[in-house]
């Protein structure tokens, strides 16, 4: 993927701003678990990667649709940095991450530890699930400095959107958009 493919077009940027203006008067349901069920018209995600030094703080959904150019940027950000491999990231998991961040009432960006993983990278990692949702670009391991892993996991569970794993020794939370389940690692 080259930098031209990742750069948003003028039309997409104008569309984002038009969508933001349209929704400005809409009621806010930031604390409602129903956020994932289309109760909000603008969705934003904020993350940084300690591994690559990259950060993303962007509106990825507005005016009733995912913004294609931004989703490409998100997919690149969530790439397997060990293999420099990109796979289209599942927007459902982005919704879970964003809704959880909103429920936690913080503007602090997530520290993204792991997003998409190639099978090769997944095999390298001790303790990684053999059929990990990371290999399907449907999972993320994250943490926040300002919130405990139990608080983060609680917000993710409230979204009722997928798997939530709490890893106390490594201090991170796994969120995926697979079947609803919970575990401790």
Q: For 137-148, write each residue's pLDDT tens digit.
A: 999 999 999 999
Reported for 66-69, long-range contacts at CB under 8 A and 24+ positions apart, including other chains, are 66/91, 67/8, 67/12, 67/15, 67/16, 68/12, 69/6, 69/7, 69/8, 69/9, 69/12
List the CATH code of the domain at 3-184: 3.30.1380.10
pTM above 0.75, yes or no: yes
For the chain, give every domain's residue range: 3-184
**How confident is the prediction for the chain on average, in pLDDT?**
83
Q: Region 46-57: what's the mean pLDDT?
A: 96
pLDDT band at 40 (very low <50, low <70, confident <90, very high): low
Q: For 85-138, write each residue's pLDDT tens digit.
A: 999 999 999 999 999 999 999 989 999 999 999 999 999 988 888 889 999 999
Confidence check: pLDDT of 24 > 90: no
């Amino acid at each position: 993927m080259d930098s031209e493919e990742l750069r948003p077009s003028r039309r997409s940027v104008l569309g984002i701003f038009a969508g933001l203006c349209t929704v400005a008067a809409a009621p806010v349901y930031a604390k409602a678990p129903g956020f994932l069920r289309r109760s909000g018209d603008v969705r934003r995600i904020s993350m940084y990667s300690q591994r690559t030094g990259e950060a993303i703080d962007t509106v990825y959904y507005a005016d009733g649709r995912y913004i294609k150019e931004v989703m490409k940027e998100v997919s690149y950000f969530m790439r397997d940095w060990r293999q420099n491999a990109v796979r289209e990231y599942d927007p459902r998991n982005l919704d879970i991450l964003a809704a959880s961040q909103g429920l936690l009432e913080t503007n602090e960006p997530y520290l993204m530890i792991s997003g998409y993983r190639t099978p090769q990278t997944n095999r390298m990692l001790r303790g990684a699930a053999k059929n990990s949702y990371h290999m399907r670009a449907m999972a993320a391991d994250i943490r926040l400095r300002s919130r405990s892993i139990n608080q983060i996991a609680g917000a993710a569970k409230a979204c009722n959107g997928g798997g939530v794993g709490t890893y106390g020794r490594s201090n991170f939370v796994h969120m995926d958009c697979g079947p609803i389940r919970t575990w401790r690692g």
